[in-house]
Amino acid sequence: MIEVARPIEQQVIPLEDTVVKIYRSAKVVKGGRRFHFEALVVVGDRSGTVGIGYGKANEVPAAVEKGIKDAKKNLVRVALEGGTIPHPVIGKFGATKIILVPASPGTGVKAGLSARAVLEYAGIRDVLTKIYGSTSAKNVVKATMQALLKLRSRQMVEEIRQVSLFGDHSGQTQEGTNVQPSDHSDSRAAS
């Protein structure tokens, strides 16, 4: 059986990274406030591999570097169909729920900043999204990753179910054809 998460071994693949959000936290001490920073980062190769990371440090550049390092440890492969996703999917994390719907070519990534970063670095060029609940960047990024991990390509479904979805469908009705009621339905109605 195929695993839900498909981790990628760290190999030599050209990865791009972007900072989704920088958080500043303050600790109040006797002499004033001491700040430290957290960075939410997305890395990906724009062709099906994406990862998210979170880094904390006393300075922004160090937090970003730690976030990139963490994201490279959490790389996963997602199922794509051309420039979009194979089917509609829902991802949830905390109080955030995101719905991803495949779109026709030329639509673009219709998403907010946080979800857009994950989707674009995963290599998705056409998708529609809707977020319900919390719109916190951390939750949206994690919910988007959860949704992407639920995606299944046609080949993956065939392997899991042990059937051929492209096989001979003789004897079965095709979509859009009229189906005549059988004689069995009449006999049940008469009794």
The DSSP annotation for 3-28 comes to -SS-B----S---EEEEEEEEEEEEE
Which range of 116-120, 156-160, 173-177 scores highest in mean pLDDT? It is: 116-120
**Per-residue model confidence as pLDDT tens digits over 80-104:** 988 899 999 999 999 999 999 999 9
Nearest one of 2, 5, 11, 18 to 114, comparing CA atoms: 18
CB atoms under 10 Å from CB of 33, counted, come to: 9
**Per-residue model confidence as pLDDT tens digits over 130-164:** 999 999 999 999 999 999 999 988 888 888 888 88
Q: b/e for 154-190, b at 16 or more Cβ within 10 A?
A: eeeeeeeeeeeeeeeeeeeeeeeeeeeeeeeeeeeee
CB atoms under 10 Å from CB of 96, counted, come to: 24
Q: What is the largest CA-CA distance in the chain?
A: 91
Residue type, 161: R
